[in-house]
Amino acid sequence: MYIRGSKWNMQKKRRRINPFGVIVVVVLIGALIYFDRTVASTIPALFVSTPTATRAPESFITDAQKLEAEGKYAQAILTYNQAVLADPRNPASYLALARLNIYTNNYAEGIKNAENALMLNNNNDTALALLGWAYGLSGDYIQAESKINAAIAINKDNAAAYAYLTEVYVYEMQAGQGVLEILDLAREASRTAIELAPNTLETHRSRGFLLNWTANYEEAVVEFEAAVKINPNIADLHLELGNNYRATLEY
């Protein structure tokens, strides 16, 4: 209460509202709303993991190729499998897997991956050739010849297919199977591989097997040495080279 003149006034004095203070409060509230709606929404919550960015499938293939070049085949196979999971419709991953499966003597997996590539394109001559090669190494020579010849029918310039066919013919002769003229067929397939691609791993490898079978061990050594120089990470090549060194008494 306060005194007005000589009388008591029991009413409280009303305080005047400060316009400046009201403006400040409104501005602060607006700033808080702006912060909450815009800035705060962009700040990650504490102790909450952020989502991992999805890797491009091509990055897995690049990593796998690097591991393959370094001879780390087990790791390369794992990484190619990751590439398949990331992009199951890329035949290149299946073909790379099939080839590495064969290099590491896992022929059943090689067959499976070559067939996976063929499911995407049944006219893929590279997949057919690899499939036939894997069948040949597994001892199924009828399937091997059938698949490789199918690859050649699609692409008569597929040098690797002729090389694989040469190798399969040698395996048949080693097993005492095949037609009477199988040695001539092997020589013809080998000559075609040489004409198409004389300096590839497949050509040198298959030529080495054929020369070993015909007891031309010194020439076989030359072919296997060339194959090992191209790819020193395939165990079978070193074993075959050693066998031919022994045959020529060059330990």
pLDDT tens-digit profile of 81-105?
999 999 999 999 999 999 999 999 9
Q: In this structure, what DSSP letter does residue 41 have?
A: G
**What rounded mean pLDDT belongs to the chain?**
87
Fold of 157-251: 1.25.40
pLDDT the model gives residue 20: 52
- Rounded CA-CA distance 197/186 in Å is 16
Decide: helix, strand or coil at residue 89. Answer: coil
Beta bridge mates, 2: 9
Of the pLDDT bands very low, low, confident and very high (cuts 50, 70, 90), residue 2 is very low
Nearest to 164 by CA among 152, 176, 180, 148: 148
Per-residue pLDDT, averaged over 128-146, amounts to 99
CATH class, range 56-142: mainly alpha
Residue 4 bridge partners (DSSP)? 7
56-142 and 157-251 share one fold: yes
H-helix segments, the chain = 19-34, 57-69, 73-86, 91-103, 107-120, 125-138, 141-154, 159-174, 182-196, 201-213, 217-230, 235-247
Domain-by-domain residue ranges, the chain?
56-142, 157-251
